[in-house]
Structure 1
Amino acid sequence: MESMVRAAGLRGLPGLVDSLGGDGVALLGRFGVTCAAVESEDAVIPAVAAGMLLEVAAAELACPDLGLRLAGLQNASVLGPLALAIENAATFGEALETTRRYLFVHSPAMTVAQILDPSGRPGVVGLLYRGTDAEPLPPQVVDVGLGLFHRIIVLLHGGPYGLRSVHLPHPALAPVEAYTRFFGAEVRFGRPDAVLRVPGGLATMPVPGGNQMLRDIAVEYLTSHFPAPGERVADRVRMLLTQGLGSSPAEVGATAKLLRTHPRTLQRRLAAEGTTFEAILDDVRRVAAHRLITQTDLPFTQVTAMVGMAEQSALSRAVRRWYGVTPRALRSTAAVPPR
């Protein structure tokens, strides 16, 4: 399947092209991209097309530092819903982990990670930016990607954050001074990976102005609306039912709405994975009921409500079907493990 990237990753490019004497709208159009898509929060385009567009623009406009210039015009907002989670992290380490986990929402073709310092200096770590495919990222994509990575850290920190040096996997595309001016640090070329070498203590530093409630909302939205590559639909349905059991409607229509799909489409996808919505709901209720019955002394009427059943008799029938005993007998023995 072709890797896609949010068109917002090109935000600022049409105006930049115009300022360099080109026609930004026409350039985007040659690659099937519109300005409306670039300004949209939802539009996606092929990652290959985005990379070619940047390379062609840099060549035709004789602007080898195009990627750096574009990064300088952007901020975390180009990452869409991921930006809210990053900007409201408690620490820079949490922001990095959130980016690592959810960068696929922006593009599954890219990844970031913290690594050991490639230069082996104590007290220094590397922040790695690379593609997920076997083919290396185009140089302009590396420049805009690592440049944006750096710029987001600067904006979160409120200024310089102690960047030691920068590693880039390609030769210098523009005069070295353009790179050192942008990053404010030494830049080394022809290295194995694109890396920001930063102080080891950066991860523990707080992000000024972070709001835990906003971050939790953002992370919950990312988790429920964007499946990680390779994640099964059944796993997402199970997660949503577990989170909402007893407080949200345990119905296929309500769950499908959270997943932004039609109920019949959801059922077809679950069937393709060898299960059904009803089977997943039954198992989620079974696990929750076993825990509430055997590990708490809550009244059975309350247990009934907490597993999303309307009547205690329905709980009794379900427990007998699951375990062959009544809820009272199950509690008295507290010895029947979940299957």
Structure 2
Amino acid sequence: MSVIRSAGLRGFRATVAELGGDAEEFARTVGLPIAALDADDLLISDEAVATVLELAAHRLARPDLGLRIAYRQDLDMLGPLALAIRNSPTLADVLECTSRYLFVHARSLSLTLEPDPYGDRGVIGLRYGVPPGRVNPVQGTDLGLGFVHRAIQRLAGDRYGLRSVELPYRPAAPLSAYEEFFGVPVRMNRPAALLRVPSGLADTPLSGGDRNLHRLAMAFLAEQTDEAGASLVPQIAATLRQLLGTTPPEIGVVAALLAMHPRTVQRRLAAEGTTFAAILDDVRRHEARRYLVTTDMPMSQIASLIGLSEQATFTRSARRWWDTTPTAVRRDGVR
């Protein structure tokens, strides 16, 4: 299973409501947590996201749904990658950091430069999509291409020189909807999804950026890579924080999200002197205290949010963690 940050669904709820639909009903149908409709940092199945977009487009009879949602999205949905992009000195730096670190937002997506498919030396292709061998989902690809197009417009200007748009399918929506959105000719049934742009576009300088912020953002993104020698503990902990309350925090689920085998996870954690269970317990303890001292949530709700089935289990855990009750922690702010 490959995953995407739930920020990829920004605009889905509002667009569906505007069209008279129920976003929560669509989410339940495909097994997406309702919280993913309003939060940015949950890790959710990219297949489920593609499916909910196709389902909504079909049920609402709006084959241009992906383009409609793209109007509502902005760079901020990319999280730390957005900071690097906004502070890049040139568009070439934007493309470089995006192609290198788009996986932080969505593990199965890529954005790459390639020669113009028609051999025009003054044009390059900006290719967007899934790995070779996987089918490009129509609504998901429309949304992604639309987002990339609008992001470049914000950075380089509305008329940045887009020549044409290539689609790897024949869309159900009329081509006029695409040509109105992109403002250029759109070709169907092409080998890949891409934007054909001027080859000199990458050299376009961007104003308003901060080179120091760009450097810091790039350094942070570098820490997110799955280098063989990097500690696995922070990655496991971060993944568990995103799963709690929405998906069972099991080692098999976490390993799949990190594209690793569960035994590999266990072996690497053992080499670091810890276990999956110990990390899960520590994450639950930190999250429980945060909810207790910063919210007025009922104890049963907190128990559910940290992945415990019963309030009694939460109470026993609190005694083990802090040698007191959850109520006392809320009252006294026990660490």
What's the TM-score once normalised by structure 2's chain length?
0.69
Trace 1:14-163 onto structure 2 (pairs within 5 A): 14-132=13-131, 134-163=133-162
Residue in 1 that maps onto 2:198? 199
CA contact (8 A) 2:102 2:109 kept: yes
Quote the offset at 1:161 in angstroms. Answer: 0.5
Between the aligned partners of 2:44 and 2:205, the Cα distance in structure 1 is 35
Instruction: Extract structure 1 runs of 4+ deviating beyond 3 A.
Output: 255-262, 268-278
Residue in 1 that maps onto 2:267? 272
CA RMSD of aligned residues (A): 2.6
The C-alpha deviation readout for 1:145-193, integer Å capped at 9, x for no partner, is: 1111111101111322010001000103211110001001111010000
Deviates more, 1:154-163 or 1:26-35: 26-35
Residue in 2 that maps onto 1:212? 211
CA contact (8 A) 1:270 1:277 kept: no
SS, match of residue 160 in structure 2: coil
Amino acid at match of 2:267: A
Residue in 2 that maps onto 1:309? none
Residue in 2 that maps onto 1:4? 3
How many residues align structurally? 251
Between the aligned partners of 1:42 and 1:133, the Cα distance in structure 2 is 27
Q: For the structure 1 residues 259 and 17, does the alpha-carbon distance in structure 2 shift closer, same or farther, using more than 3 Å as the test?
A: closer
Quote the offset at 1:270 in angstroms. Answer: 9.3
SS, match of residue 196 in structure 2: strand
CA contact (8 A) 2:88 2:94 kept: yes
Quote the offset at 1:260 in angstroms. Answer: 4.9
SS, match of residue 14 in structure 1: helix
Between the aligned partners of 2:60 and 2:176, the Cα distance in structure 1 is 19
Q: Structure 2 unaligned runs (5+)?
A: 241-250, 252-262, 274-335
Q: Structure 1 unaligned runs (5+)?
A: 238-254, 279-339
Trace 1:255-334 onto structure 2 (pairs within 5 A): 260=237, 272=267
- State the identity as a percent: 42
Q: For the structure 1 residues 141 and 217, does the alpha-carbon distance in structure 2 shift closer, same or farther, using more than 3 Å as the test?
A: same
CA contact (8 A) 1:111 1:129 kept: yes
Question: Which protein has the larger Cα radius of gyration, Structure 1 or Structure 2?
Answer: 1
Q: For the structure 1 residues 162 and 111, does the alpha-carbon distance in structure 2 shift closer, same or farther, using more than 3 Å as the test?
A: same
Between the aligned partners of 1:44 and 1:31, the Cα distance in structure 2 is 15
Quote the offset at 1:217 in angstroms. Answer: 1.6
CA contact (8 A) 2:89 2:205 kept: yes
Residue in 1 that maps onto 2:171? 172
What's the TM-score once normalised by structure 1's chain length?
0.68
Q: For the structure 1 residues 276 and 25, does the alpha-carbon distance in structure 2 shift closer, same or farther, using more than 3 Å as the test?
A: closer
Amino acid at match of 2:165: V
